[in-house]
Structure 1
Amino acid sequence: MRNSQIQNWLKWSLCATALAASMGSQAAETVKIGFVDLLSGPFALTGQSSLKQLREVVIQLNAKAGPKDPQFEIVDFDNKGSPQESLNALKAANDRGIRFITQGGGSGVALALVDALNKLAEREPDRATVYLNYSAMDPMLTNERCSFWHFRFYPSSEMKMEALSTYMQSRKDIKKVYLINQDYTHGRQVSKAAKEYLARKRPDIQIVGDDFIPIAQTRDFASYVAKIAASGADTVITSNWGSDLTLMFKSARDFGLNINYFTLNANNPGTPAQLGAWGDGKVGVIWNWVHNAPTPELEKIYVDYKKKYNEDFIFAAHWNTMNMLREAMRKAQSTDAKKVAFALEGMTYKSPIGEVKMRKNDHQLEAPLYLGIWAKKGSKGVKYDAENTGYGFRTEVTWDSYISAQPTSCQMKRPS
């Protein structure tokens, strides 16, 4: 009898232990992040590369997660670059229980999402969703259209223009500037900021052109390039991205228009391949990440990703976004969207580019900015090339966050 009781007790103990282990292994919650962005059409390469890099960041985060940390999973939705398709994707994500989304390809889409999220939170608080913006730059998103549910982990177009115009104060060789931007809210904001900031810091500079092009519709930029050449411009400032930037560079190279080009997106997938030797010393990009920035942690992330995928890691905002999201969940001790949003406000994080801060009053990340200048690999400051071209961006200038910081008119409406 005693042996039988002992055996029964042992069996019960083993079952209980197995059940506890099973429950422990299932304790980690899975938090799904909806990636709502361009995955088809003329700008698909940018969206696909962004998605791939986001997934790699998540793989690394999940591997280092603590026992109480949630696991992240990325669920992608192709918005085709359309605000309406984005709203459809938002609804589909929300219906699947997804309470965190990320997007960056297009400020028009971003503004539509913010409006929809505000209405959703008011109408159905239990379905409130946090929007993690990794590159939509329209200043309205952190000013008159700011939202408690929106957090931008990338500099606004005004922040970039503030930094660039500061740099141009020392470039006395620049006399005539031509502005060429895509004809939508972001392009018009860049044009406006460039004119205002240059008038304040370099009133001697002439704006000799200010063109807006229909987005993703121009296949040959020869006429635009000829117009720029005829204006006598020595410098172009452009916020174009995707095919509207690569094709513009192709036409400029074919024409032999050898002037300065300051861009917001020349680092984007597919663009470096167009530059080659022609872009050496001419093309610059203002961004939050430079392959050749002298920071060991940045270098390791870039090198490891290149070794694994033979592609360049450029979407640094994903790194900061996901790491700060995890820290916010730890701080909130919850994955509830509202609690996490409150935890994100005012958060500081020691990122690979130094300490960054999510400004509480408008949800704009304050972080360093870089000016990269295209140059030959092996030349001073260019240890790594871009897209296996033999050329890469050297770090010409690093701006501390206070240089590019902008005032805000945001009147944040917070939930109770």
Structure 2
Amino acid sequence: MKKLFISAAVAGLLASSAGIASAQQTLKLAFIDPLSGPFANIGEIFVNNLQYGVDEVNARGGVLKGVKFEMIKLDSKLSAQESQTALQNAIDQGARVILVGGSGSSVVNAVVQTAARHNERNPDKAVIVLNHSSIDPELTGKNCSFWHFQFEANTAMKMKALANYIKTQPSIKNVYLLNQDYAHGRQWAKYGQELVGLARPDIKFVGETLHPIGKVKDFSPYVAKMKAAGADAVITGNWGPDLNLLLRSASEASYNLRYFNHSAGSAPGTVPAVAQAKIGQVTWVGEWHPGEADVPKAEAQAKAFKQKTGSDFYAPRVVFTPLILAAAINKAQSLDSVKIARALEGLTYDSVVGPVRMRAEDHQLLLPQVVNTIAPVDGKAVKAGWEGTNYGFRTDAVYSGNELAQGSECKISRP
């Protein structure tokens, strides 16, 4: 009788494990980012990179011996309200993982808060939010959530990398803070003044301006303001068209500024804007840049991505976000959202840019950051052009995720 009981139990467990794949052959992931409006090109980059990662997971056989990923694509319209509507739409379609980050921190915050409320009311339909690009430190700080994971280095980490580099640049003396008027822009200015000021107490901050996001077509009045203040450098969190239009206006005014930014080379149009301007140095920070030395896995992935999609490769972290999710699911041996979230906590992953770790206490991914400047091809520091120009990327400094890690106010409430 004892043998029969053990055999029946084992048979039940085997049937249950097999049922994971048979009951649900796909796990739905919902992409919620701008697919229309002035930042639609940014959304397209993210969706293409995420789809590439999803395809790679599926090509490896999916997760749990046969469960494939399926990505639903929804337009955030760069609006918190629209994103919350899209989130409910995604949940109604059966999505259990939400991919967001290219709509700005206010949108991501709204999605995370809405998801947390939904999960509390509907634990059997709980969703996890994977943030691939929003860099708001409060998302892993005082507004942290068990259901949210940040896959991009946050504002404080990026600014620390830039501050470390600016410390070595004595020619920078007068800095202006020009940023978009929303949470990210204000934070980029705040951390810029704090961390750069700490690294270089001799630097003068000669002015600060916030402007509407995605609405300014001519930045010449702002450029004139910076010039009148005597700025030789600007700390700007502008991205997409807002950065490219700023570069154009400065060029038209023959104003040779230095720019310090978080993602300039990881979006289309900025390198051509610099090449066309021929003046101004744009220095930015990311987990990788095309042509970066000693990162052969990322270069190989960039070539494979270009061959498959016909598009340039910008952001390794966006591609490996679904791959890390897959690793967590296989570690958890479950499609249960709580178990997947717990498996993500503390997870280490050997990515194409080197080992990365999801810090358990606040769900901040620790990944390397490369300070680099968009510069003319010289065959030495810059070996190849980008986006059809003779400008590429010069590596200035490289920092590990652990070197840039910051303290956190996060106090996660776990289910």
Same structural fold, with TM-score higher than 0.5 when normalized by the shorter chain: yes
What SS is found at the alignment partner of 1:172? coil
- Residue identity matched to 1:68: K
Q: Distance in 2 between matches of 1:296 and 1:158?
A: 28
1:362 aligned residue: 362
Please name the residue that 2:125 is paired with: 127
Tell me which residue corresponds to 1:183: 181
Q: Which residue does 2:27 correspond to in 1?
A: 31
Question: SS where residue 190 of structure 1 aligns?
Answer: helix
Corresponding position of 1:143:
141
CA distance in 1, matches of 2:67, 2:251: 49
How big is each residue's C-alpha offset from its partner over 1:48-77, in whole Å with a ceiling of 9 and x where there is no partner?
121112112222221122670421111100
Equivalent position of 1:273 in the other structure? 272
| Partner residue in 2 for 1:329 | 329
What secondary structure sits across from 1:77 in the alignment? strand
CA distance in 1, matches of 2:259, 2:382: 19
Does 2:75 correspond to 1:78? Answer: yes
* Cα distance, 1:74–1:279 mapped onto 2, change above 3 Å: farther
Q: CA deviation at 1:24?
A: 12
Task: Report what 1:100 is aligned to.
Answer: 97
The structural deviation recorded for 1:118 is 1.4
Q: What does 1:339-358 align with in structure 2 at a 5 Å threshold?
A: 339-358=339-358
* Alpha-carbon distance, 1:335 to partner: 1.7
Structure 2 SS opposite 1:55: helix
Cα distance in 1 for residues equivalent to 2:93 and 2:78: 22
Report the alpha carbon displacement of residue 229 of structure 1 after superposing the two structures with TM.
Answer: 1.4
- The equivalent residue for 1:53 is 49
CA displacement at 1:280 relative to structure 2: 6.7
Task: Kindly indicate whether the alpha-carbon contact (under 8 Å) linking 1:147 and 1:412 is maintained by their aligned counterparts in 2.
Answer: yes
Distance 2:273 2:251 in 1: 9
Alignment partner, residue 229 of structure 2: 231
Paired position in structure 2 for 1:18: none
Q: After TM superposition, give the deviation of residue 383 of structure 1 in Å.
A: 3.2
What secondary structure does 2:256 align onto?
A: coil
Q: Distance in 1 between matches of 2:24 and 2:278?
A: 49
CA distance in 1, matches of 2:384, 2:136: 31
Q: Deviations over 1:352-385 (max 9, x none)?
A: 1111000000000001101121122353233332
Give the distance between the partners of 2:325 and 2:52, measured in 1 at CA.
16
Deviations 1:311-343 (A, max 9, x none): 221122222211110100100111221111110
Maintained 8 Å contact 2:53/2:320: no
Moved over 6 A (4+): 23-28
Using structure 1 for the length normalisation, give the TM-score. Answer: 0.91
Q: What TM-score, normalized to structure 2?
A: 0.91
Confirm or deny: 8 A CA contact 2:244 2:270 kept in the other structure: yes
Which residue identity lines up with residue 282 of structure 1 in the other structure?
Q
Structure 2 residue aligned with 1:411: 411
Mapped pair 1:88 → 2:85: yes
Aligned counterpart, 1:16: none
- RMSD between superposed Cα atoms in Å: 1.8
**Residue type matched to 1:44 in 2?**
A
Alignment partner, residue 109 of structure 1: 107
Indicate how the Cα distance of structure 1 residues 142 and 180 shifts in structure 2: closer, same or farther if over 3 A, else same: same
Shift of residue 26 of structure 1? Answer: 6.4
Q: Structure 2 CA distance, aligned partners of 1:376 and 1:315?
A: 22
SS where residue 248 of structure 1 aligns? Answer: helix
Matching of residues 208-287 of structure 1 within 5 Å: 208-267=206-265, 268-276=267-275, 278-279=277-278, 282-287=281-286
Question: Does residue 65 of the first structure (1) align with residue 65 of the second (2)?
Answer: no
* Residue type of the alignment partner of 2:330: R
Q: Secondary structure at the match of 2:133?
A: coil
CA distance in 1 between counterparts of 2:324 and 2:20 reads 25
In 2, the alpha carbon distance for the partners of 1:410 and 1:212 equals 28
Aligned mates of 1:393, 1:301 — CA distance in 2: 18
- Does the CA-based 8 Å contact 2:21-2:67 persist in structure 1? no
Structure 1 counterpart of 2:65, one-letter code: K
Q: Tell me how far apart the structure 1 counterparts of residues 57 and 387 of structure 2 sit (CA, whole Å).
A: 26
Which amino acid letter does the alignment assign opposite residue 299 of structure 1?
Answer: E
Query: 3-state DSSP class of the match of 1:349?
Result: strand
Task: Kindly state the Cα deviation for residue 111 of structure 1 after the two structures are TM-superposed.
Answer: 0.7
Percent of pairs with identical residues: 42
Cα deviation code 1:89-146 (max 9, x no counterpart) = 0000001110101111200001111111111111111121100000111111000000
Contact 1:279/1:374 (8 A) holds in 2: no
Q: 1:411 to 1:80 in 2, by over 3 A?
A: same
Distance 1:279 1:344, change over 3 A: farther
Question: Is the 2:316–2:352 contact (alpha carbons within 8 Å) kept by the matching residues of 1?
Answer: no
Corresponding residue of 2:381: 381
Which residue identity is paired with 1:79? S
Q: 1:350 to 1:408 in 2, by over 3 A?
A: same
CA distance in 2, matches of 1:358, 1:279: 40
Once residues 240 and 46 of structure 2 are traced to their aligned partners in structure 1, the CA distance between those partners, rounded to angstroms, is 13
- Mapped contact 1:39–1:78 kept (Cα < 8 A): yes
Q: What do the CA deviations read for 1:169-216 (whole angstroms, capped 9, x no partner)?
A: 111111011111100011111111111112222111000111101011
Structure 1 residues 373 and 351, CA, compared in 2 at 3 Å: closer, same or farther? Answer: same
